[in-house]
């Protein structure tokens, strides 16, 4: 999850924290400690899924890890849990690992239009569609 500190082991990392950057997919992992064989960083906020870890050393170049990092995708609650056949209510889905730009929410098989401007990585807001009879 975001704000988790991870430890990466290897060799020839150097000891200058300013020389090292770590990315998980396209998200910065903020380096907090580096030695020649170990570095630690705090993962940033990202949508759920499994992603590659890449390290860049300013003078030594890039290293891609065979190990991947998994951001969880969970749903903790949905409100309201019931509504009218006509739809039109705003539904709030809370959890972790959402991507408001790419998330799709279905209600009885019909798309619930996600409000991309008001949603974030932990809350999706969408307009419930009219019932499709399912």
DSSP 47-58: -SEEEEEEEEET
pLDDT at 2: 75
Q: Boundaries of CATH 2.60.40.10 in the chain?
A: 5-71, 74-127
**Model pTM score:** 0.73
pLDDT at 32: 97
CA distance 67 to 90: 40
Residue 114's contacts (CB-CB under 8 Å, 6 or more residues apart) are 100, 103, 104, 105, 124, 125, 126
CB 119 within 8 A of CB 103: yes
Domain 74-127 sits in CATH at 2.60.40.10
What phi, psi does 119 have (nearest 5°)? Answer: -95, 160
pLDDT at 134: 64
Domain 5-71 sits in CATH at 2.60.40.10
pLDDT mean by block of 10 residues, the chain; 134 residues: 89 94 94 96 91 95 89 94 87 94 89 95 94 74
């Amino acid at each position: 999850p975001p704000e988790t500190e991870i430890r990466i082991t290897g060799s020839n990392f150097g000891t200058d924290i300013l020389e090292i950057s770590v990315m998980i997919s396209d998200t910065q992992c903020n380096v907090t400690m580096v030695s020649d064989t170990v570095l630690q960083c705090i993962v940033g906020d990202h949508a759920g899924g499994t992603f590659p870890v890449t390290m860049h050393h300013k003078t030594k170049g890039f290293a891609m890890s065979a190990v991947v990092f998994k951001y969880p995708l969970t749903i903790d609650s949905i409100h309201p849990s019931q509504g009218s056949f006509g739809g039109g209510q705003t539904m709030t889905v809370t959890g972790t690992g959402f991507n408001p730009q790419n998330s799709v929410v279905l209600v009885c098989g019909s798309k619930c239009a996600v409000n991309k401007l008001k949603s974030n990585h932990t809350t999706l807001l969408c307009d419930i569609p009219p019932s499709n009879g399912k």
